Amino acid sequence: MKNRFYFSSAAFPNMITMLNLISGFFSILLATCGRYEYSVWLIFLALLLDSLDGHVARIFGNETEFGRELDSLADLVSFVVAPCFLMISVFSSVTSVWLLFVVVFYLSAGAFRLARYNIHPTRGGYFEGLPTPAAALTLAMTLLAFKKNGWESESSFMISAVFLMTAISFLMVSEIPYPKVSAVKLRVWRPLFFLQLFLAIFFFFFFNIETAVSVVFLAFLAIAPFYCLSGNSDCSPEAGDDPGSDPEIPCS
């Protein structure tokens, strides 16, 4: 008789992964109802849950292939499908063929990114391409920041959103290195950390928390790869383990 691991301690991380999936589902539901703020914060909750399930699995020492596959399916809903629904819902009044094309491109890129991650999880201390949780939260928070600041009436709003979604799609399928957060050493990344902290405080004080989170993620997307490639960090392939040797199940 097969080991019913879903009745064992392995159920705990899997339950957290299912909560990630549920958060993504309700994010889609709320986006279609026009409740954009709740939709975006549910994507943020899904990111926290996605970060937590791997840590819980390691605490119990029961990382499994089932858990990895379940995590990938949950990420597809929360960080790929949910942002697509949010984008379509925000611009429902001006939906065009080009917007649909960009959304489908993001959807395809996210699915490709997750499938590639399942085959080649990490290389030492970095991911190949932008992880889907960071991609989703950057896009979602930027859309919400525009609406919270009353900028959605600007003609440049849709152009900026389409450009950002396209750029993020390319970053997900690229081989540009992004650091694995759990492997980041503060002493090495201190300048970037303090820059992001300054940006967060500044934009939170003069705007709002949505704008602050958006700017922090945008700065990370733009600066982190250059910092990795500069040789000042542990993001090089030589630093750390071989590509397939990391047992961790980080965000993908």
Query: How many domains does the chain fold into?
Result: 1
Tokens of 247: 């047992």
Q: Is residue 242 one of the residues assigned to a domain?
A: no
Q: What is the mean pLDDT of residues 156-183?
A: 87
- Per-residue DSSP letter, 236: S
**Average pLDDT, stretch 150-173?**
88
* pLDDT bracket for residue 1 (50, 70, 90): very low
Q: Is the pLDDT at 241 greater than 90, yes or no?
A: no
How far apart are alpha carbons 91 and 100 in whole angstroms? 10
Lowest mean pLDDT among 63-67, 101-105, 168-172, 247-251: 247-251
- Closest by CA position to 103, among listed 136, 125, 70: 136
Determine phi and psi for 231, rounding to 5 degrees: 90, 5
| Mean pLDDT computed over 24-47 | 95
Handedness of CA 95, 99, 100, 104 (dihedral sign): negative
Is 50 a residue whose pLDDT tops 50? yes
So what's the pLDDT on residue 178? 85
In a domain, 78, yes or no: yes
Print burial letters for 49-60: b (CB count within 10 Å at least 16), e (below 16): bbbebbebbeee
Domain with 98 in it: 5-229
- pLDDT for 124: 61
Could you tell me the CATH number of the domain that includes residue 197?
1.20.120.1760
Q: Is residue 131 part of a domain?
A: yes
Does 60 map to a domain?
yes
**Which pLDDT tens digit goes with each residue over 73-94?**
999 999 999 999 999 999 888 7
Q: State the pLDDT at residue 188.
A: 64
pLDDT at residue 245, rounded to an integer: 36
Residue-wise pLDDT for 182-194, tens only, equals 666 666 677 777 8
Token pair belonging to 232? 């000042």
Q: Grade residue 165 by pLDDT with cuts at 50, 70 and 90.
A: very high
- Is 56 contained in some domain? yes
Are 41 and 141 in contact, with CB atoms under 8 Å apart? no
In a domain, 126, yes or no: yes
Report DSSP state, residue 81. I
Pick 21 or 119 by higher pLDDT: 21
Residues 135 and 168 sit within 8 Å (Cβ to Cβ) = yes
| 189 in a structural domain | yes
Q: What span, in angstroms and rounded, lies between the C-alpha atoms of 138 and 154?
A: 20
Q: Where are the beta strands (DSSP E) in 187-238?
A: none
Q: What is the pLDDT of residue 237?
A: 44
What is the arithmetic mean of pLDDT over 238-248?
37
Residue 249 forms part of a structural domain: no
Residue 195 has pLDDT above 50, yes or no: yes
Mean pLDDT value of segment 142-147:
92
Q: What is the C-alpha separation between 114 and 80, in angstroms, rounded?
A: 10
Question: For position 80, what pLDDT does the model report?
Answer: 96
Higher-confidence residue of 186 and 26: namely 26
The one-letter amino acid code at 247 reads: P
Tens-place pLDDT, residues 200-219: 899 888 888 889 999 999 98
Residue 135 has pLDDT above 90, yes or no: yes
